[in-house]
Structure 1
Amino acid sequence: MTTTFITNAGAAIVSRKIVERTGNIKWLTREAPIAPQDTGWRVLSDRDTDEYLADPANMTVVDFNELCALEPACIGIYDLPVGSDIQLVVEPDGRRRWFDNKTEKEISFR
């Protein structure tokens, strides 16, 4: 059973490398949802290549709460708007920081 971090969160389209734990969450974009349960979040790993991503079978639908269970830092970005293009940076001390890929600035959730 998945822990509920966000009630009725919906789903995200996620790289299988994240689900299979052969890659870590790194790149996230939020597109217009394509179905009622779709959050619009698209999540790629630090190990994805263009060749890997060219095969749609390498992406899967995951409940957003499952994504948050894998990486709790995702809880904070859930409400970012459509058009968001962000990356997760994990510091050597384990601290997680989000950066906006368009502005190259850190995202603050305070």
Structure 2
Amino acid sequence: VITSRDKEVAAGVGIRYAFNAATKHWMDEVKIIVFGPSEEVAAHDTEIQAKLKDSMKAGIEVLFCKAYSDEQGVTGILEEAGFKVIYVGTVMSQLLKDGWDSLTF
């Protein structure tokens, strides 16, 4: 889960770890959920978008929270960039119930 508005935390740590965990097979399955302030940053930062798209090409599911992106007026930007924007509250809750672990950046 990436929530930080800080670009270095989002891209330098969060996305990098998820990408490495997936491509180096540290984990069987990896998802990135962009949630909160980081959504607005991602909507306007092509470098972060590129890193997220590379993650998607590597088989990582990338999700953005529709409630927050609607509130910030960036849903259209994210969807036009090719990202999946959905209500993630129930998704995150189900993942936790299913035994997934969560790292938050």
Q: Give the structure-2-normalised TM-score.
A: 0.33
The structure that has the greater radius of gyration is 1
Whose strand proportion is higher, 1 or 2? 1
Whose helix proportion is higher, 1 or 2? 2
Q: Give the structure-1-normalised TM-score.
A: 0.32
